[in-house]
Each structure stands twice: as C-alpha cells, then as structure tokens.
Structure 1
Amino acid sequence: MVKVLAILYKGGKAAEEEQKLLGTVENSLGIADWLKQNGHEFVVTDSKEGPDSDFQKHIVDAEILITTPFHPGYLTEEVMNKAKNLKLCVTAGVGSDHIDLNAANKRNITVAEVSGSNVVSVAEHVVMSILVLVRNFVPAHEQIVADDWNVAEIARNAYDLEDKVVGTVGCGRIGYRVLERLQGFNCKELLWFDYTDLPEDKKKPEFKRVDKLEDMLARCDVVTINCPLHEKTKGLFNKEILSKMKPGSWLVNTARGAICVRADVKDALASGHLRGYAGDVWDVQPAPKDHSWRHAFNPLGGGNGMVPHYSGTTLDAQIRYANGTKDIIDRYFSGKDQDPANLIVINGDYASKAYGEREKKASGQKPAGP
C-alpha cells in the first residue's frame, strides 16, 4: 500500500454541480476510486498552511505528493525533511516552483508535472488580458454595472492593438503560442527573448528574437511574461527592469507572481510608467485580502486586470492534467519510465533546463517553442 497525499482547492457547491472541476477536493482529479481499488491510501485536503495543517500531518508518511499551481502546498526543505517516505511529487498542471527542487535533488525525490496541459489555456488568457488592458475594458464594464455612462472617461485611455509592438519574455510552449495568436492583430512587431533559440522548423520571420531583455522592453508597447520561476527569474521585474520598459506600456504576467516585485509593480502603475498590469498569478496564493495588486491602479484609476489563478485550469485543461497525473502515478506504480517531457528532477539531477542546469543527463529538457 502506498500513501498518496493531494493538496487541492475546495470547490464547494460549484464542484458538486460540475464534476468536470477535477482539480478540486470534491472531485479529486478523478483518481480516488482508482487508487482505493488498487489498495492505496488517498488523502485529499485543502488544508496546507501552518504546522497543524493536514499537509504537515500527512506529509510525514506519504510516498506520493500531488499539488497544483492553483492552491500550492509549499514543499520547503524543512517540510521535505519530515517526509521520510516521499519518493514522487506530481504537479497536477505545469509549474513546480512551489517545491524546493534543490532539496528534492538532495533527497533523490522525483518531481514531475503534466507538461503541455495548460499551454493553450494560458496562451488564450494572455491574449485576452492584453486586450483587456489595451482596450481599457475593466473600467468600462465597471461603469455599466454601476449604472453609469461616460464614454470619454473610458476612451481617453483605450487603444488599438494593431500597430503595437508586443514582446514575450520566454518563448516556450506558451510564449510561442501567444505570438501565434497575435498574428491576426497586425501588430507592428512580435518580439521574443529567451535563453535558448527556437528549433529551426518553428522559426518564423514575423517572430523576431531580441538578444538583450532591456532592448526588447524599451521597444515594446506590451510585454507578456511566459518563463518559469527559478533563482534567476525571481524578482526579475523589479524597479530597475521596470524602468527599462517603454513609458505607458502594459505588462501581463501569467507565469508566476514572484517574477515581479509586488511593490515595484504597484509603484510603476501609480506613476503611470506602466499603463496597466494584468495576470492571474500572485507571489502568495491564495492572495491575502490586503495584497497590493488587488488595488493597484494607474493615475486614471484603471489598468488593473488581475484575477484569481485560473488561466491554466479551464475545464478542458483540468481533463488534461488529471489524466496526466494518473499516467505519472501509474508509471511509478508499474516501474515504467516517465515521459521525459514531464520530468523536472530525477535521480538527484535536473531533467529540465527550464528550472536548472542539467550537467549529467541531456534527456528530458523542455525545448523552446511548442
């Protein structure tokens, strides 16, 4: 018997009424019966904060941990040291930065995620967020629900996306798809910055690589962040780098909240240097009620496109990452090799350059592009 611990979010009435909400405690990724029928113990909870949480209680003897980016159980080295039986960590979705990967390497714990399960969902959300900011949509909608009508107040800060320069920081599976979806908007330029080049068969003349991040930021009207969170990207968008952005530009972050410095983003908005900031990722999740991004606005009172972390957990994405989670665990039980594309760390080393340099083994590296 193997003990499997899953940290998921409560869906409440919504999960009871919609069973496709697989990422919830109530629907448990659709794997509860399968695990129990095979004789395994399955503990599902949303309690993850503090020393008395279910997470802390059950991690001590769990062999498999399932978490999600949407309600992450933060597996620090301290918590990991309590988990004497832990062998496999599975992210039901994409993004394993809530796990101390260096500590996982030391403990020889395998970390895997369902690669590609969220790429379409997040790319669509990025494009939507860009349009929400550029068209000044949120203040316009708020006007209507407040029974008001003032076209001038909205139009004074509304623009077209056509003929604008858009750049992505990170041109992997999501960033690349964002550029693809923006082609129909007749943008002036579509730029990208990444540590590695695109495969030859994915290069397009309309997608232009910029070698230096600061150079790209200075040219862009819109910047979208689509890179993983790790040591080199944490706090990347701080006061200094934000100052390199074009005055009056828009910033969209659906990657990880901690890539941006909370206070610096709010200050850039308040000064008008940033015209808008949108995304669904926060540096703490769930975001506390007093989180400054909830009430960060430009000088005209708009420019806030923040939502809860849901871009990668549409009902379509939930089916993909639930099936992928089951496949990873099934392979573990049967002793089969994992799909290399899903591996983050294995055998005490990084499997994906997206999270760390892999010196010993070359397989499993996530490529740029789709």
Structure 2
Amino acid sequence: GMSHCSAFFSLMMAKKLEKHIEDMHVLITTPFHPAYVTAERIKKAKNLELVLTAGIGSDHIDLLAAAAAGLTVAEVTGSNTVSVAEDQLMRILILLRNFLPGYQQVVKGEWNVAGIAHRAYDLEGKTVGTVGAGRIGRLLLQRLKPFNCNMLYHDRIRINPELEKEIGAKFEEDLDVMLPKCDVIVINTPLTEKTRGMFNKEKIAKMKKGVIIVNNARGAIMDTQAVADACSNGYIAGYGGDVWFPQPAPKDHPWRYMPNHAMTPHTSGTTIDAQLRYASGVKDMLDRYFKGEDFPVENYIVKEGELASQYK
C-alpha cells in the first residue's frame, strides 16, 4: 500500500513537479526518494503555502528560500525515531561481528571461520560515540546501555543531568576530542550548512584506525570519496548506513563498491510501523491545515519566516 504509493508518487513527482508546481498549495515530499525543493522551484510555486515531509529530515528543501517566501515547512517529528535507533544498533552489531562476510561465505558454499573471526569483536567494553544526541541519539544510547559499552555523546545542547545519568553517557563538548576515543561512531545530526561534508579526510584522520561508522542521518554529512578511500585502505574497518547523496544513489556511487560496508537503500525509517505513524501524522497536519489550526509545535521546520533551531 503506502510504500508502492510513495514510490510511485516520488517518481511522478520528479517528472510532474516542474509542470504542476505553479498550481500547488500543498506539497508533500519524502526523504527516502526526495523531490529536491530548490530555490528555483519555490520561485515558480506562486500558490505554495505548505511543504510537508512525510518522515523526518527536511534538508531536501531549500529552507532559507522557503522561509524567505513565507512558506510553512513541517515534518512528522518522532514518527520513525525508534525504527532508526533499532536499525543503528543492528548495523553496529553487523559491522563489529563481521556478519556480512560470514553470510557471503554461506551463500557461496564456503566455510572459513578464521577468515571472519580475525575482524570480529564484542560490543561490550567498546567506546561508542554519537555525534548528535537528539531524539534518535538518545534512543540509541538507551538501547546500548545493557551492552555494557562506554558511551559518549557530542551535541550543541547537553542532555539534562537526570536523563544523562540515567542513560549513562558522558558529554563531550569538543568533537575532535571525542573522535579518537571511539571504536564506533554513529552520526545523528541533521544535515545543515554546518554539517554538510563535515566528515572529510581530515576529520576521518582524527578517528581511531579501525573505527566503525554508522550513518543513518544523511549521506551528505560525509565526504563521499573520503569515506570510500578510508574503507579501501582499511582506516575505516566498517561503514554502514542507509543514507546516500544524492538519493536514489546512482549505479556508479562509490559506496556501492567499497569494501567492508553494510549499506542499504534508505530503509531504516520506513518499517511498516513507521509508515503508519508518518502517514497518520501527515493526515493529521492536513486536517489541521484545512481547519486553519496550528500543528504540534515540534513538527515545524519553518514557521513564519523562522527556521527551527537545528537548521540555524
């Protein structure tokens, strides 16, 4: 149902967006197969009032242009946070335990335990750092706690002391101080002008050799080629995630062919449970829009010319 509909919708979107954008009052997009809502497209959209993201992460929209044009941009905050956090935990284990090469052996009819074991580790006792500790980052830290690993987090805003103590993660004010301490790094920050291309060759060089990186946030936070190079020369022991730039990822995207990766299409936030939540969230916002009512305050990304704090 929903997934076919949204795949068809996004395909149709790309072709017909240009044609119909002038007439639209409301535009609904998804982060999974995004219609890039550029400044040029916003200029053409004379009647546009509302842009809704069916999911989380509205970086496929030129938010400054949207704010300048007086548009409202909103998303279904919280709709897939649990889904993404569970997926991050799965990817950490898949990479640390060197699961995929073992699976490949079975499929190919092979049996070589030593070939897997020399790169397989326990999560217990490792240091895991999250870059960003918003809703998803916190859910991940809470789920990591029973694994008895050492947890660090870097964010603009510190978690309130009681919750921080309950979660058991230590705040790192300086990202460059945190990176070399981590065996596993998870990216949990939105894509903004500050974070675009942030993990370049220099930043990766600050990490531990043999680091594992999980990124379900946005592909463009990474320098694509720097990641591919570091995976190829073994500096990064494993890179896993479901976000690419651009999306859909072209056939020749280097991350498809780099060694030691656990990549999928953008699926971590599209479980059936999450789809039900963001479909009902979009419906709720449309109902409110037609009645002239406000949305839940946390859903706004651009409201009355103001950007949400995470995008500033």
TM-score category (smaller protein):
over 0.9
Specify which structure has the higher proportion of helix. Answer: 2
Matching residue's letter, 1:208: K
Q: Distance in 2 between matches of 1:281 and 1:92?
A: 16
Counterpart in 2 of 1:24?
4
Alignment of structure 1 residues 96-245 onto 2, 5 Å = 96-187=58-149, 189-204=150-165, 206-245=168-207
Supply the RMSD in Å over aligned alpha carbons. Answer: 1.3
Is structure 2 residue 42 aligned with structure 1 residue 80? yes
Cα separation, partners in 2 of 1:96 and 1:27, compared to 1, 3 Å: closer
Shift of 1:47: 3.0
CA contact (8 A) 1:166 1:222 kept: yes
Q: Distance in 2 between matches of 1:165 and 1:328?
A: 40
Shift of 1:198: 1.1
Q: Distance in 2 between matches of 1:232 and 1:26?
A: 30
Task: Give a deviation string over 1:94-146, Cα, whole Å, max 9, x none.
Answer: 00000000000110000000000011000000000000100001111011111
Q: Distance in 2 between matches of 1:210 and 1:344?
A: 27
Q: Distance in 2 between matches of 1:257 and 1:291?
A: 12
Give the counterpart of 2:274 among 311, 317, 323: 317
Shift of 1:27: 9.4
Cα separation, partners in 2 of 1:209 and 1:26, compared to 1, 3 Å: closer
Give the counterpart of 2:299 among 328, 339, 342: 342
CA contact (8 A) 2:10 2:29 kept: no
CA contact (8 A) 1:138 1:305 kept: yes
Counterpart in 2 of 1:353?
309
Counterpart in 2 of 1:368?
none
Q: Give 3-state SS (helix, strand or coil) of 1:338's partner.
A: coil
Counterpart in 2 of 1:269?
231
Cα separation, partners in 2 of 1:228 and 1:45, compared to 1, 3 Å: closer
Q: Give 3-state SS (helix, strand or coil) of 2:93's partner.
A: helix
Q: Give 3-state SS (helix, strand or coil) of 1:25's partner.
A: helix
Q: Distance in 2 between matches of 1:73 and 1:309?
A: 14
With structure 1 as the length reference, what TM-score do the two structures score?
0.82
Cα separation, partners in 2 of 1:252 and 1:26, compared to 1, 3 Å: closer
With structure 2 as the length reference, what TM-score do the two structures score?
0.97
Is structure 2 residue 30 aligned with structure 1 residue 68? yes
Counterpart in 2 of 1:46?
11
- Amino-acid identity (%): 52
Matching residue's letter, 2:194: K
Cα separation, partners in 2 of 1:290 and 1:78, compared to 1, 3 Å: same
Cα separation, partners in 2 of 1:161 and 1:88, compared to 1, 3 Å: same
Matching residue's letter, 2:256: R
Shift of 1:353: 0.9
Shift of 1:337: 1.1
Matching residue's letter, 2:155: D
Matching residue's letter, 2:210: G
Counterpart in 2 of 1:10?
none
Q: Give 3-state SS (helix, strand or coil) of 2:4's partner.
A: coil
CA contact (8 A) 1:165 1:222 kept: yes
Count of residue pairs brought into register by the alignment: 311
CA contact (8 A) 1:23 1:322 kept: no
